[in-house]
Structure 1
Amino acid sequence: MSTGRTAVTRHGFVVDVRPEKREEYLELHRAVWPRVEEAMREQGIRNYSIFIIDTTLFGTYEYVGDDYEADMARVQLDEESQRWWRLTDPCQTPFGEARDGELWREMELAWHMD
């Protein structure tokens, strides 16, 4: 029996930041463009945080929706988000053994406590 609620899924991602671009990346994130945040919210992304230690970034968010792949594809199509990534992507370099073209690598949830 359906409860009428959409399940929450948690996602974690990791990427490295180029040492010479660390401050630029942090400065950009001190004032994330409102439309970038709005585009994610519209597609069910909630409670998004990015942490940094040395030159490694860890991002985590919750997704509330019914079709994660379709919603993430819609975020990818947002023109303002694409402009944002043209600024942030050059600051990043893949973490570990990333696939070709992959920056942020999705991690497997090992444990969670509410």
Structure 2
Amino acid sequence: MQRHGQVVNVRAGKREEYLRLHAAVWPAVEETLTRCNVRNYSIFLLEDTLFAYYEYVGDDHDADMARIAADPVTQEWWTHTDPCQEPWGTGPPAGKGPWRDAAEVWHLD
């Protein structure tokens, strides 16, 4: 199992919309994530910063992330969520969208 953390900012004026969307994530989006070996996915909010954490239980993270990105329902979901987000900091995004990967520096089981 691999642990992944990502950060992004909420765009000014889009906080309530983002929270509304995530109060009822589309079941097909959740099913795709599960099918692509994503588990224990959480998104936390602190002021205007979102922190996401998920565990990956598959064998090819890049291939599964590409499968998620190719899913038509997920692509439609992103047309609603992406306008609510803007990159955090100055580094490169993780891939699809403005999220940036965070490095794990410590873990306790």
TM-score band w.r.t. shorter chain: over 0.9
> In 1, are the aligned partners of 2:4 and 2:54 still within 8 Å (CA)?
yes
Deviation at 1:113, TM superposition (A): 1.0
Q: CA RMSD, aligned part only? A: 1.3
Flag structure 1 segments of 5+ consecutive residues without an equivalent: 1-7
Which residue among 100, 106, 109 is the counterpart of 2:104?
Answer: 109
Q: Kindly state the Cα deviation for residue 98 of structure 1 after the two structures are TM-superposed.
A: 3.2
1:74, distance to aligned residue in structure 2 (A): 0.4
Q: Give 3-state SS (helix, strand or coil) of 2:66's partner.
A: helix
Deviations 1:37-87 (A, max 9, x none): 000100100000000011000000000011110011001010000000000
TM-aligned CA deviation for residue 19 of structure 1: 2.5
State whether structure 2 residue 82 is matched by structure 1 residue 89. Answer: yes
Question: What is the DSSP-based 3-state SS (H/G/I as helix, E as strand, rest coil) of the residue aligned with 1:75?
Answer: helix
Q: For 1:14-33, list aligned pairs within 5 A.
A: 14-33=7-26
Q: Distance in 1 between matches of 2:48 and 2:105?
A: 23
State the partner residue of 2:53: 60
| SS of aligned partner of 1:46 | strand
Distance 1:49 1:19 in 2: 22
* 4+ runs deviating over 2 angstroms: 98-102
Q: Distance in 2 between matches of 1:18 and 1:109?
A: 25
- The answer to whether the aligner puts 1:46 opposite 2:53 as a matched pair is no
Percent identity reads 55
Q: What TM-score, normalized by structure 1, do the two folds share?
A: 0.90
Greater CA radius of gyration, 1 or 2?
1
The one-character-per-residue Cα deviations of 1:21-47 (angstroms, maximum 9, x if unpaired) are 000000000000000000010010000
